[in-house]
Protein backbone atom coordinates (compact mmCIF):
# COMPACT_ATOMS: atom_id res chain seq x y z
CA UNK A 1 0.00 0.00 0.00
CA UNK A 2 1.56 3.32 -0.96
CA UNK A 3 1.47 6.49 1.13
CA UNK A 4 -1.19 8.07 -1.11
CA UNK A 5 -3.66 5.20 -0.80
CA UNK A 6 -3.32 4.93 2.99
CA UNK A 7 -3.91 8.64 3.68
CA UNK A 8 -7.21 9.37 5.47
CA UNK A 9 -9.45 12.34 4.90
CA UNK A 10 -11.25 14.27 7.65
CA UNK A 11 -14.09 11.72 7.82
CA UNK A 12 -11.79 8.73 8.30
CA UNK A 13 -12.18 7.54 4.69
CA UNK A 14 -9.18 6.75 2.54
CA UNK A 15 -8.47 9.98 0.65
CA UNK A 16 -9.63 9.92 -2.98
CA UNK A 17 -9.37 12.43 -5.72
CA UNK A 18 -13.01 13.53 -5.52
CA UNK A 19 -14.90 16.65 -4.57
CA UNK A 20 -17.12 16.72 -1.47
CA UNK A 21 -20.14 16.44 -3.77
CA UNK A 22 -18.67 13.40 -5.55
CA UNK A 23 -17.88 11.81 -2.19
CA UNK A 24 -21.43 12.41 -0.95
CA UNK A 25 -22.81 10.94 -4.20
CA UNK A 26 -20.62 7.83 -3.85
CA UNK A 27 -21.47 7.39 -0.18
CA UNK A 28 -25.19 7.71 -0.87
CA UNK A 29 -25.09 5.19 -3.73
CA UNK A 30 -23.19 2.70 -1.55
CA UNK A 31 -25.56 3.20 1.37
CA UNK A 32 -28.69 2.83 -0.76
CA UNK A 33 -27.32 -0.41 -2.23
CA UNK A 34 -26.72 -1.77 1.27
CA UNK A 35 -30.23 -0.77 2.31
CA UNK A 36 -31.75 -2.58 -0.70
CA UNK A 37 -30.24 -5.83 0.55
CA UNK A 38 -31.56 -5.26 4.07
CA UNK A 39 -35.03 -4.28 2.87
CA UNK A 40 -35.41 -7.55 0.99
CA UNK A 41 -34.60 -9.53 4.12
CA UNK A 42 -37.00 -7.48 6.23
CA UNK A 43 -39.77 -7.92 3.66
CA UNK A 44 -39.31 -11.70 3.75
CA UNK A 45 -39.47 -11.76 7.56
CA UNK A 46 -42.52 -9.50 7.54
CA UNK A 47 -44.29 -11.72 4.99
CA UNK A 48 -43.52 -14.80 7.09
CA UNK A 49 -44.85 -13.11 10.22
CA UNK A 50 -48.04 -12.01 8.47
CA UNK A 51 -48.70 -15.55 7.29
CA UNK A 52 -48.21 -16.97 10.80
CA UNK A 53 -51.29 -15.15 12.10
CA UNK A 54 -53.47 -17.00 9.61
CA UNK A 55 -52.37 -20.52 10.53
CA UNK A 56 -54.64 -22.76 12.62
CA UNK A 57 -52.00 -23.13 15.33
CA UNK A 58 -51.84 -19.35 15.94
CA UNK A 59 -54.90 -19.51 18.21
CA UNK A 60 -53.02 -21.98 20.43
CA UNK A 61 -50.15 -19.60 21.21
CA UNK A 62 -49.54 -18.69 24.84
CA UNK A 63 -49.70 -15.14 26.13
CA UNK A 64 -45.89 -14.91 25.97
CA UNK A 65 -45.77 -16.28 22.43
CA UNK A 66 -48.40 -13.79 21.22
CA UNK A 67 -46.44 -10.93 22.77
CA UNK A 68 -43.19 -12.12 21.18
CA UNK A 69 -45.04 -12.40 17.86
CA UNK A 70 -46.31 -8.83 18.21
CA UNK A 71 -42.78 -7.65 19.05
CA UNK A 72 -41.38 -9.40 15.96
CA UNK A 73 -44.14 -8.03 13.74
CA UNK A 74 -43.76 -4.46 15.01
CA UNK A 75 -39.96 -4.60 14.80
CA UNK A 76 -40.13 -5.80 11.19
CA UNK A 77 -42.65 -3.10 10.21
CA UNK A 78 -40.57 -0.41 11.90
CA UNK A 79 -37.39 -1.78 10.31
CA UNK A 80 -39.05 -1.46 6.90
CA UNK A 81 -40.07 2.12 7.66
CA UNK A 82 -36.65 3.12 8.98
CA UNK A 83 -34.72 1.41 6.19
CA UNK A 84 -36.93 3.08 3.56
CA UNK A 85 -36.58 6.52 5.18
CA UNK A 86 -33.33 7.34 3.29
CA UNK A 87 -35.22 7.03 0.01
CA UNK A 88 -37.80 9.54 1.23
CA UNK A 89 -35.05 11.86 2.50
CA UNK A 90 -33.31 11.72 -0.85
CA UNK A 91 -36.51 12.33 -2.82
CA UNK A 92 -37.44 15.37 -0.72
CA UNK A 93 -34.01 16.92 -0.09
CA UNK A 94 -31.85 16.01 -3.09
CA UNK A 95 -32.31 19.29 -4.98
CA UNK A 96 -31.60 21.38 -1.90
CA UNK A 97 -27.84 20.73 -1.92
CA UNK A 98 -28.10 18.63 1.23
CA UNK A 99 -26.55 15.39 -0.01
CA UNK A 100 -24.02 15.19 2.85
CA UNK A 101 -26.85 15.67 5.35
CA UNK A 102 -28.86 12.96 3.57
CA UNK A 103 -25.89 10.58 3.81
CA UNK A 104 -25.35 11.33 7.52
CA UNK A 105 -29.02 10.90 8.42
CA UNK A 106 -29.37 7.83 6.21
CA UNK A 107 -26.41 6.17 7.93
CA UNK A 108 -28.13 6.76 11.27
CA UNK A 109 -31.35 5.29 9.91
CA UNK A 110 -29.40 2.25 8.70
CA UNK A 111 -28.00 1.64 12.19
CA UNK A 112 -31.47 1.88 13.76
CA UNK A 113 -32.85 -0.35 10.98
CA UNK A 114 -30.20 -2.97 11.71
CA UNK A 115 -31.13 -2.91 15.38
CA UNK A 116 -34.83 -3.32 14.55
CA UNK A 117 -34.04 -6.10 12.08
CA UNK A 118 -32.00 -7.94 14.71
CA UNK A 119 -34.90 -7.55 17.16
CA UNK A 120 -37.39 -8.86 14.58
CA UNK A 121 -35.23 -11.85 13.72
CA UNK A 122 -34.41 -12.79 17.30
CA UNK A 123 -38.07 -12.43 18.29
CA UNK A 124 -39.17 -14.64 15.40
CA UNK A 125 -36.45 -17.13 16.31
CA UNK A 126 -37.58 -17.19 19.93
CA UNK A 127 -41.19 -17.77 18.87
CA UNK A 128 -40.29 -20.70 16.64
CA UNK A 129 -37.90 -22.28 19.14
CA UNK A 130 -40.38 -21.78 21.98
CA UNK A 131 -43.01 -23.69 20.00
CA UNK A 132 -40.55 -26.49 19.26
CA UNK A 133 -38.43 -26.75 22.44
CA UNK A 134 -39.89 -24.52 25.17
CA UNK A 135 -38.92 -21.29 26.92
CA UNK A 136 -35.58 -22.34 28.37
CA UNK A 137 -34.03 -23.65 25.16
CA UNK A 138 -35.59 -20.81 23.14
CA UNK A 139 -34.24 -18.20 25.55
CA UNK A 140 -30.73 -19.69 25.60
CA UNK A 141 -30.41 -20.03 21.83
CA UNK A 142 -32.05 -16.68 21.12
CA UNK A 143 -29.79 -14.99 23.66
CA UNK A 144 -26.74 -16.48 21.96
CA UNK A 145 -27.95 -15.33 18.55
CA UNK A 146 -28.63 -11.84 19.92
CA UNK A 147 -25.03 -11.71 21.17
CA UNK A 148 -23.80 -12.73 17.71
CA UNK A 149 -25.86 -9.92 16.12
CA UNK A 150 -24.52 -7.43 18.66
CA UNK A 151 -20.94 -8.45 17.99
CA UNK A 152 -21.07 -8.73 14.19
CA UNK A 153 -23.39 -5.83 13.42
CA UNK A 154 -22.39 -3.31 16.08
CA UNK A 155 -19.40 -4.03 18.33
CA UNK A 156 -16.98 -5.39 15.72
CA UNK A 157 -17.58 -2.58 13.17
CA UNK A 158 -17.39 -0.01 15.99
CA UNK A 159 -14.08 -1.48 17.19
CA UNK A 160 -12.65 -1.43 13.67
CA UNK A 161 -13.67 2.20 13.26
CA UNK A 162 -11.64 3.25 16.32
Query: What ranges do the domains of the chain cover?
Result: 19-161
Q: What is the pLDDT of residue 39?
A: 82
Q: What is the DSSP letter of 59?
A: G
Per-residue pLDDT of the chain (162 residues; tens, 9 = 90+): 444 444 555 555 566 777 777 777 787 788 878 887 888 888 898 999 999 999 999 999 999 999 999 999 999 999 999 998 888 887 887 777 777 888 888 889 999 999 999 999 999 999 999 999 999 999 999 999 999 999 999 999 999 987
- Total-model pTM: 0.80
Q: What is the pLDDT of residue 37?
A: 80
Which sign does the torsion angle of CA 24, 154, 75, 131 carry?
Answer: positive
Q: What is the pLDDT of residue 12?
A: 54
Environment class of 121 (CB within 10 Å of its CB; exposed 0-12, middle 13-18, buried 19+): buried
Q: What is the pLDDT of residue 10?
A: 52
Amino acid sequence: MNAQSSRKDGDGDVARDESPEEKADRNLVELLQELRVLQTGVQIIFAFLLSVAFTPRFTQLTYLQVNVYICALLASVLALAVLAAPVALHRILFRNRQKERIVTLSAQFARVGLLLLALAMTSALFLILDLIRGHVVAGAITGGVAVVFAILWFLFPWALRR
